[in-house]
Chains A and B, each alone.
Chain A
Amino acid sequence: MVLIVGGAYQGKLDYAKNQFPDVEWIDGRDCEEEEIFSCGGIHHFHIYVKRYMKRNIEQQIIIRNPQIVIVSSEIGYGIVPVDRFEREYRELTGRICTRLAGEARQVHRVVCGIGTVIKG
Chain B
Amino acid sequence: MVHTVTGGSGSGKSAYAEEWLTQHGKDGHLLYIATMKPFTEEAAEKIARHQRMRAGKRFAAIECYSGLKRLDVPENAGILLECVSNLTANELYGEEGRMKDWREALEDITGGIWHLAQQTECLVIVTNEVNSDINGYSEETECYRKLLGMVNQRLAKMSDRVTEVVYGIPVSVKKDEEIVE
Contacts and interface: CB of A to CB of B under 8 A. Distances in A.
Interface of A: 3, 5, 7, 74-80, 84, 87, 90-95, 97-102, 107, 109, 118-119
A97 B8 CA distance: 12
Given A7-B132, A77-B129, A77-B133, A107 B169 contact: yes
Nearest to A79: B130
B51 interface: no
B1 to A, nearest CB: 24
A95 B8 CA distance: 11
A98 B133 contact: no
Given A77-B130, A78-B133, A79-B130, A101 B169 contact: yes
Interface stretch (B9-17, B111-119, B154-162): B9-17
B167 interface: yes
Interface string B128-156: 01111110010001001100000000000
B130 A5 contact: no
Interface of B: 7-12, 42, 129-134, 137, 141, 144-145, 166-169, 171
A30 to B, nearest CB: 25
Contacts of A3: 167
Contacts of B144: 79
A94 B141 contact: no
A78 B129 CA distance: 7
A110 to B, nearest CB: 12
A118 B165 CA distance: 10
Contacts of A94: 8-12, 167
B171 A118 contact: yes
B131 A77 contact: yes
Nearest to A100: B167
Nearest to B144: A79
Contacts of A92: 10
B141 A98 contact: no
A5 B167 contact: yes
16 contacts: A76-B10, A77-B130, A77-B133, A78-B130, A78-B132, A94-B11, A98-B12, A98-B167, A98-B168, A99-B168, A101-B167, A101-B169, A102-B168, A109-B166, A109-B171, A119-B169
A15 B167 CA distance: 19
Contacts of B167: 3, 5, 94, 97-98, 100-101, 107
Contacts of A93: 10
Find the residue from A77, A95, A100 having the highest chain B CB count within 10 A: A77
A95 to B, nearest CB: 5
